[in-house]
């Protein structure tokens, strides 16, 4: 496995980083994402994609998904009045996995292909109603 750097588009001060490094397996010119990204839109865990890292800085600026994993990716951002810890168990109970970036109050939720999309949608709607900010980076359910 190797770490691959992605250049991030920023909007104001978000995200607070210019690049995100993710683990990938590489076969020839094809990469397979092996962790859940926090800021890269359009890629979910286990997706296969092609990309040409920039020859100057080594960052990927553009990619093409060649084979979808069928997984979805949801980002959840805590707000001042709500914290995520109380709800993580519900997500895990549905068969989802959660990676946290506690310093930012940001959580990346991997939704496997076999998970009940309606149950996930209902839980995400409830969390949004409680005040969490949500972004469906990749939704395939």
**pLDDT band of 121, cuts 50, 70, 90:** very high
Which pTM value belongs to this model? 0.91
- Neighbouring residues of 72: CB distance < 8 A, sequence distance ≥ 6: 44, 110, 111, 117, 120, 136, 138, 139, 140, 141
The pair of three-digit structure tokens given for residue 9, joined into one six-digit string: 């588009």
CATH architecture assigned to 72-138: 2-Layer Sandwich (3.30)
- What tens digit of pLDDT does each residue of 129-140 get? 999 999 999 999
- What tens digit of pLDDT does each residue of 39-89 get? 999 999 999 999 999 999 999 999 999 999 999 999 999 987 788 988 999
One DSSP character per residue, 18-50 reads SEEEEEEEEETTEEEE-S--SS-TT--TT-EEE
Domain extent listing, the chain:
2-67, 72-138
Contact at 8 Å (CB) between 33 and 44? yes
């Amino acid at each position: 496995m190797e770490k691959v750097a992605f250049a991030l588009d920023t909007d104001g001060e978000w995200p607070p980083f210019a690049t995100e490094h993710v683990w990938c397996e590489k076969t020839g010119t094809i990469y397979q994402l092996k962790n859940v990204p926090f800021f890269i839109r359009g890629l979910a865990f286990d997706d296969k994609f092609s990309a040409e890292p920039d020859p100057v800085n080594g960052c990927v600026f553009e990619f093409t998904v060649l084979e979808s994993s069928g997984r979805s990716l949801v980002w959840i951002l805590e707000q001042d009045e709500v914290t995520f810890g109380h709800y993580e168990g519900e997500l895990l109970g549905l068969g989802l996995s959660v990676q946290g970036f506690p310093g930012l109050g940001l959580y990346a939720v991997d939704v496997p292909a076999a998970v009940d999309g309606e149950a996930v949608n209902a839980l995400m709607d409830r969390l949004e109603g409680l005040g969490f900010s949500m972004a469906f980076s990749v939704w395939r359910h």
